[in-house]
Structure 1
Amino acid sequence: MSSSTPLLAAYDLFLPDEDATIRIAQLLSQAVQPIDSKVHLYLEGDLGAGKTAFTRAFLRALGVTGRIKSPSYALLESYAVSNLNLYHLDFYRFNNPREWVEAGFRDILEENAVVLIEWPEKAGGLLPPPDLNLHFHYQDEGRLLSITAHSTKGQSWLKTLTQNN
């Protein structure tokens, strides 16, 4: 039996307001740095549950300045900070899981970049597993954020989050 503590695979956190959402996004951005490989975060939840607010705060914490738009209509917003590429995708308007492939987004997932995807479930099972899946649920006046790690990196980030929160 190993004496080391096993890494967490899932974590639930109550977010009473948008400030709490911003704080957890900032903490997660610190956990994933330095970024030297692919980072894939998938965000799920009902409309208005906090996915875009989280993404904006996360991107700001990584150094994005200027306006951060929701990609609801454009499907993709991209940003460059130093030599780091950041991509924010939104699949809400997809009606068929293959649409994300036909839109040419597969290459983005192969880059050493930070990729945040809202509504990944709209791609069916065609997306590779994320490092972290963040699911925002309405709960009382706030939100319940359920974070699930799907990679060793994701487990490490989740452990860092739980230690700092």
Structure 2
Amino acid sequence: MYTIKISKLSETIILAKSIAKSIDKEKLLNSKVIYLYGDLGTGKTTFVRYFLQNFGVSDNVKSPSFSIMEQYHINGLQFYHFDFYRFDYQSEVLSIGLEELDNKNTIILIEWPEKAMEFLPKPDLEIFLSCSDIENNVERYATLSTQKNKEGKWLTNIINSYEKMSDHI
């Protein structure tokens, strides 16, 4: 587990770039599943927007909270961006065919995964976004974590990349 203080938008952009860059290096032989946790307004969709831009997605990336899913196809990669905020029951995820998306060259980003955890694939990376108001000076944090043992090296690569890039801002 690793926590980063994000005090500027540029640091969110660097975090998104670090993760995207680390995935690109792996040549994405298997799908990647990324969970995004955080209260409303902590920057989940903003992170996704900059993450996708690193792969060349130029579409307007918006929260799929009403449509449940947005998909993007670019440069041989498939991206699926889910938002389960409006789910009342975990079983609602069964109607969207998520299990069919676990393919090569696929990246699945899920906002509000806790609303459907029972039916989701295990994440390769979890990002917990939070913010606190310390005397009206909002501080934001991103905590990165992996559940799968094999992803420990990936997390280390992300952190090293982030630290190198953030030294230059």
Alignment of 1:40 with 2:37, yes or no, is no
- Measured after TM superposition, the shift of residue 152 of structure 1 is 4.4
Name the stretch that deviates more: 41-50 or 121-130. 121-130
The residue that corresponds to 1:68 in the other structure is: 61
- Richer in helix (by share): 2
Structure 1 residue 24 corresponds to structure 2 residue 15 = yes
Matched positions, count:
155
Could you tell me how far apart the structure 2 residues matched to 1:153 and 1:63 are? 27
The aligned runs of 1:43-54 (5 Å cut-off) are 43-54=36-47
Q: Which residue of 52, 58, 61 maps to 1:59?
A: 52
Deviations 1:27-84 (A, max 9, x none): 1100111222111100000001011011000000011112112111111100111211
Q: Give the distance between the partners of 1:104 and 1:69, measured in 2 at CA.
A: 21
Tell me the C-alpha RMSD between the 2 structures.
1.4
Q: Which amino acid is 2:84 matched to? A: F
Alpha-carbon separation, structure 2, partners of 1:82 and 1:138: 34
* Shift >6 Å, 4+ stretches: none
Give the structure 1 partner of residue 117 of structure 2: 124
Q: 1:146 Cα shift?
A: 0.9
- Residues 115 and 162 (structure 1), Cα distance of their counterparts in 2 relative to 1, 3 Å cut: same
Query: Could you tell me which residue of structure 2 aligns to residue 160 of structure 1?
Result: 157
Unaligned runs of 5+ in 2: 164-169
Partner of 1:133: 126
Over the matched positions of the two proteins, sequence identity in percent amounts to 34
Compute the TM-score of the two structures, normalised by the length of structure 2: 0.86
Deviates more, 1:42-51 or 1:133-142: 133-142
8 Å CA contact retained: 2:33, 2:121: no
